[in-house]
C-alpha cells in the first residue's frame, strides 16, 4: 500500500508580538514546527536554522530502518549550527528553539520533539497528544503536584526545561509509529495549543476541511482567543495513493524561515536545493565570507569559545530559560514559596523547583518554626515547598503554620493532673463528682479545624 502526505502550513505573528520567531516546514516527507526564543535578535534565527538544517531530510535517500537515526543526526547538526552561530555572533547568546518534527519513511513516521511545541494525532475521531512538554509545569504534573486543570492556568506554564540551544546535552525525544490512511497529524507552537483548548482542536481537525483550510481556521481561533504569541501549525493527512490525483509535493515554508530564503534557481524543486536555499539564507545574514583563511579563523574562534565555556555555559542556560516568552529570571524572582531551611521553616524567593544545575531560589525571611513542631503531613508539605503568588501570601502561609505549630506544642506538652478534693466518707455521702479537666487537656485545633493528636505532631520523618 503506497501512501503520501497531503499537507499545509500556516504561521501568524499574533496580536501580542512585534515579530515572528516561529518557523514551519511542510513537505512530502518532512513536517516541522520550531518556536524560536532569544528576543528580537535571536528567536527567528534559531528557528530558521533548525528548519533549514532539517529540510535536507525531505527526500527519499533514507529507508524506514534508519530514518530515526537520520532525524536524530539532523537535530544534532542543527544544534551544532546554533552553537557555531552564537560563537560567531555573541549578541545571539541565549537564543534557542523548540523543534517538533515528523519524518516519513515509507509507511513509518518518525517523531522528534524537544520543547513545548506539540504533535497531535487525530485517528477515528479521537485526538491524542503525541508529545510531552519539556516544561516546568509538565514536571509538576508528572510529580502529581498539580492537576491538568491547574496546569492550564499555572503562572509558570511558559518556563521550558529543554530546547535546542547549542549545548551538548540538548537531547530530543524520538519515537516511531506506523502511518495509516485517514490519520491526520497536527504540529503546532504553543501560540496555538496554549490558547485553543484540546476539545476545540479536536472539533476543528475532525470538521472535514482540507489541510490548508484547517490551518487557516486554527490560526483564526488562536487570534480570536487573544493571540498573545506567534501562532504556527502544520496539518498533514495520510492518504492512500491510487484513489485520485496525488497530493502536491511542493514544500511550504512559513514564519521566520520564509523571510530568509533567497531566490531559487530552476533546480530548486529538489530536496537538496530546498535545503541549500534555507541554509544559504542563514549564511547570507552573517558577516564572515568563505575564503582560504576561513579554517584558521574558525579554529581561533573555537579556541576563544573554549576559553569562555566555563563561564558562559551556566549563563547561556539561564539566558535560554529566561529569554522571550519563557518566563524570565526577573519574573522568577517575583515568585515566593515556603520551604525548609535545614530543620526550620523559611520564606524563599524564586521558583519552587531548580532548573537543571541552577538554583533559582534563596531565603528572604526566616521563621521561628521548627519542622519538628509541625504535624508530619505539614512538615512534608513544607519540604516539598508551598508556592505563593507573592510575599504577602507566603507570610500568610507562615502565619497558618505558626498556629499549627502552637497547636502541636499544646498537644504534646506535659500536663499536671488535677488533684480532686475527696470528702471524708459519711453514711449519707454520695460519690464524688468527676473533676473538670484542666485547660491543657483539650488540644487546640488547627486553622482547618482538624483536631490534632500527639501522634500527628513531631514532623521529623
**pLDDT tens digits along 255-287:** 999 986 533 333 344 454 554 455 444 444 444
Tens-digit pLDDT profile for residues 3-23: 999 999 999 999 998 899 999
90 assigned to some structural domain: yes
- Report the predicted TM-score, pTM, of the whole model to 2 decimal places: 0.61
Quote the cell numbers at residue 61: 535517500
Residues 86 and 205 in one domain: yes
Picking from 284, 315, 342, the residue at the C-terminal end of a domain is: 284
What pLDDT, on the 0 to 100 scale, is given for residue 121? 99
Grid cell, residue 356, equals 537543571
pLDDT value, residue 414: 65
Looking at the structure, do residues 50 and 157 belong to the same domain, yes or no? yes
274 & 162 share domain: yes
Do 373 and 446 meet the contact criterion of CB atoms below 8 Å apart? no
Identify whether 351 is part of a domain. yes
Q: How far, CA to CA in Å, does 8 sit from each of 35, 119, 176, 312?
A: 17, 15, 22, 40
User: Given 258, 284, 310, which residue is the final one in a domain?
Assistant: 284
* Judgement on whether residues 186 and 105 belong to the same structural domain of the protein: yes
DSSP string, 152-192: HT-TTTT-BS--BSS-TT---EEEEEE--TT-EEEEE-HHH
Q: Quick one: 199 and 337 in the same domain?
A: no
Question: What CATH number corresponds to the domain at position 280?
Answer: 3.60.40.10
Q: Is residue 424 part of a domain?
A: no
Residues 136 and 232 in one domain: yes
What mean pLDDT is predicted for residues 119-137? 96
* Residue 116 is assigned to a structural domain of this protein: yes
Same domain, residue pair 280 and 341: no
Q: Determine the structural domain holding residue 340 and report its residue range.
A: 333-413+455-459
Give the pLDDT confidence of 377-415 residue by residue, as tens digits: 788 889 989 988 788 888 989 988 988 888 888 767 665
Query: In the listed set 284, 307, 322, which residue is the last one of a domain according to the structure?
Result: 284
313 in a structural domain: no
Shared-domain flag, residues 279 and 343: no
237 shares a domain with 91: yes
Indicate whether 167 pLDDT > 80: yes
In a domain, 326, yes or no: no
pLDDT at 459: 58
Which of helix, strand or coil describes residue 3? Answer: strand
Q: pLDDT of 52-69, one tens digit each?
A: 999 999 976 577 779 999
Are 345 and 234 members of one domain? no
Number of domains observed in the structure of the chain: 2
CA distance 141 to 129: 15
The answer to whether residues 10 and 134 belong to one domain is: yes
Q: What letter would DSSP give residue 402?
A: H
Burial class (CB in 10 A: 0-12, 13-18, 19+), 157: buried
Average pLDDT over residues 293-310: 39
Domain assignment present for 31: yes
Residue 425 covered by a domain: no
Q: Do the beta carbons of residue 77 and residue 53 sit within 8 Å?
A: yes
118 Cβ contact list (under 8 Å, min separation 6): 100, 129, 130, 131, 133, 186, 187, 188, 190, 193
Residues 157 and 27 in one domain: yes
The cell for 139 is 514536571
pLDDT tens for 328-356 read 555 666 788 999 999 999 999 888 766 65
CA-closest candidate to residue 72, choices 169, 174, 162, 176: 174
Amino acid at each position: 500500500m503506497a501512501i503520501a502526505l497531503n499537507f499545509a502550513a500556516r504561521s501568524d505573528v499574533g496580536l501580542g508580538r512585534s515579530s515572528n520567531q516561529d518557523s514551519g516546514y511542510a513537505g512530502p516527507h518532512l513536517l516541522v514546527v520550531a518556536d524560536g526564543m532569544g528576543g528580537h535578535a535571536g528567536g527567528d534565527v534559531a528557528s530558521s536554522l533548525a528548519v533549514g538544517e532539517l529540510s535536507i531530510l525531505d527526500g527519499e535517500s533514507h529507508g524506514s530502518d534508519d530514518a530515526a537515526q537520520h532525524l536524530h543526526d539532523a537535530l544534532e547538526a542543527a544544534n551544532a549550527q546554533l552553537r557555531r552561530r552564537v560563537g560567531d555572533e555573541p549578541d545571539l547568546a541565549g537564543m534557542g528553539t523548540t523543534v517538533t518534527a515528523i519524518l516519513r519513511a515509507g509507511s513509518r513516521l518518525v517523531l522528534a520533539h524537544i520543547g513545548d511545541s506539540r504533535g497531535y494525532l487525530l485517528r477515528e475521531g479521537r485526538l491524542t497528544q503525541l508529545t510531552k512538554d519539556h516544561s516546568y509545569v509538565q514536571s509538576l504534573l508528572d510529580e502529581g503536584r498539580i492537576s491538568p486543570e491547574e496546569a492550564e492556568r499555572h503562572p509558570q506554564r511558559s518556563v521550558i526545561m529543554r530546547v535546542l540551544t547549542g549545548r551538548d546535552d540538548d537531547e530530543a525525544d524520538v519515537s516511531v509509529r506506523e502511518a495509516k490512511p485517514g490519520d491526520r497529524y497536527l504540529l503546532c507552537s504553543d501560540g496555538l495549543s496554549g490558547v485553543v483548548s484540546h476539545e476545540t482542536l479536536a472539533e476543528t481537525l475532525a470538521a472535514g476541511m482540507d489541510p490548508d483550510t484547517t490551518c487557516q481556521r486554527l490560526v483564526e481561533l488562536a487570534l480570536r482567543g487573544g493571540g498573545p504569541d506567534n501562532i504556527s501549525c502544520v496539518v498533514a493527512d495520510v492518504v492512500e495513493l491510487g484513489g485520485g490525483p496525488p497530493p502536491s509535493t511542493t514544500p511550504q515554508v512559513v514564519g521566520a524561515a520564509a523571510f530568509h530564503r533567497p531566490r531559487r534557481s530552476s533546480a530548486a524543486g529538489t530536496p537538496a536545493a530546498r535545503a541549500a536555499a534555507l541554509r544559504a539564507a542563514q549564511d547570507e545574514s552573517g558577516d564572515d565570507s568563505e575564503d582560504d583563511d576561513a579554517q584558521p579563523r574558525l579554529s581561533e574562534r573555537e579556541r576563544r569559545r573554549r576559553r569562555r565555556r566555563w563561564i558562559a555555559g551556566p549563563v547561556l542556560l539561564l539566558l535560554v530559560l529566561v529569554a522571550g516568552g519563557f518566563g524570565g529570571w526577573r519574573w522568577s524572582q517575583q515568585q515566593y514559596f515556603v520551604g525548609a531551611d535545614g530543620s526550620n521553616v523559611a520564606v524563599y524567593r524564586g521558583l519552587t523547583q531548580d532548573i537543571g544545575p541552577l538554583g533559582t531560589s534563596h531565603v528572604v525571611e526566616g521563621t521561628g518554626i521548627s519542622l519538628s513542631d509541625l504535624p508530619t503531613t505539614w512538615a512534608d508539605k513544607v519540604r516539598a515547598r508551598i508556592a505563593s503568588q507573592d510575599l504577602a501570601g507566603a507570610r500568610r502561609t507562615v502565619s497558618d503554620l505558626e498556629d499549627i505549630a502552637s497547636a502541636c506544642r499544646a498537644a504534646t506538652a506535659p500536663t499536671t493532673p488535677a488533684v480532686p478534693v475527696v470528702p471524708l466518707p459519711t453514711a449519707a455521702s454520695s460519690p464524688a463528682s468527676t473533676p473538670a479537666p484542666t485547660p491543657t487537656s483539650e488540644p487546640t485545633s488547627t486553622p482547618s479545624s482538624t483536631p490534632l493528636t500527639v501522634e500527628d505532631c513531631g514532623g521529623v520523618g
